[in-house]
Amino acid sequence: MHSSSEKTPLADALFSLFAICHRIETRDTFADHIYPIIQELMPHQRFLCGIASVTPVALLDSINMGFPDDYIRDCISSDGKIRSPMIRYWLEQDAPVFFTEDFEHALSNPRDKEWMEMFKRHKMQNMAAHGSKDLHGGATSYFCFSGIPHWDEQTQEIMRMIVPHLHTALRSHYQLKQKQQLPDHALSAREMQVLELVCIGKTNHEIGIILGISPWTVKIHVRNTMSKLDVFTRGHAAAKAIQNNLVQIPREIARD
């Protein structure tokens, strides 16, 4: 894994991503190894991906890196059906789609208006989406980015190039869930590493240096870990982790 302070050439980052996407062995791989490369190739504030059945559109598995939990709850009904015009527009165009508040006039469906209110309430700034369909058409993977600083031809081309490989990775991620029947709240290996460092008082910047990832990626891991532990502060997360023996902290490290 390259250091967060070094910029990997575009071609090298793409080839690294492609290679990892086609050798998924655990469900930790996507969040711990694939996502940091996605963040480097396409800088953004929030990322969400999922794999869903097509008819009806119902979510089978997902990975959330930064989207508010209440936004997810509002977009996904109790039976797994997805309510988002972004997905519908992508299914219609089968190409990367981009949305900002400037395009609000194009929303005519009443439910789209409700989604627009959520978009504004959570200060999304913008949203881009693309996906890939299995050849038999039975399942679709969907990748959504929010807070993209630049939406230009290069960004769109990168999205077109990486999505088929991300689809392969996400499909493997879902198949591992079915095979291993892992609970959604299980911490990944990377989240465990981050949690151990949180427990000894390291900041996101310090954790990023230690693990060779960006502070933003650390922030996402901390947020997801807190959500899985059902806590609201780093201190509470550390206390719960230690009380439940989720982490082992050597005394000499704890004193540093």
Q: pLDDT for 204-228, tens place per residue?
A: 999 999 999 988 889 889 988 888 8
- Exposed e or buried b for every residue in 211-227, given b needs 16+ CB within 10 A? bebbebbbbbbbebbbe
pLDDT tens-digit map of 98-157: 999 888 887 777 778 888 888 888 888 899 999 997 755 566 898 999 999 999 999 999
Q: The dihedral of CA 147, 227, 37, 98: what is its sign?
A: negative
Residue 154's H or E segment, with its range, is helix 153-180
Query: What's the residue count for the chain?
Result: 256
187: Cβ contacts below 8 Å, ≥ 6 apart: 195, 225, 228, 246
- Exposed e or buried b for every residue in 158-174, given b needs 16+ CB within 10 A? bbeebbebbbbbbbbbb
189-254: which CATH number, 1.20.58.100, 3.40.50.10860, 1.20.120.1200, 1.10.10.10? 1.10.10.10
10-180: which CATH number, 3.30.110.60, 3.30.450.80, 3.40.250.10, 2.60.40.10? 3.30.450.80
pLDDT for the residue numbered 58 = 64
End-to-end CA distance of the chain: 26
pLDDT tens-digit map of 181-205: 545 567 888 999 999 999 898 999 9
Q: How far is residue 166's CA from residue 138's CA, in Å, rounded to a whole number?
A: 17
Mean pLDDT of all residues belonging to the chain: 83
The single residue listed with the structure tokens 């299980």 is 186
pLDDT for the residue numbered 70 = 81
Tokens of 220: 């996402």
Determine the average pLDDT of the residues in 160-171.
93
Q: How far is residue 126's CA from residue 100's CA, in Å, rounded to a whole number?
A: 5
pLDDT for the residue numbered 78 = 58
**Coil vs helix vs strand at 235:** helix
Q: From the centroid of its chain, how far is CA 152?
A: 22
Q: How far is residue 190's CA from residue 72's CA, in Å, rounded to a whole number?
A: 23
Question: pTM of the predicted model, to two decimals?
Answer: 0.71
Q: Where are the domains of the chain?
A: 10-180, 189-254
Determine the average pLDDT of the residues in 172-188.
72
More confident residue, 100 or 246: 100
Query: Rg of the Cα trace of the chain?
Result: 19
Does the pLDDT at position 77 exceed 80?
A: no
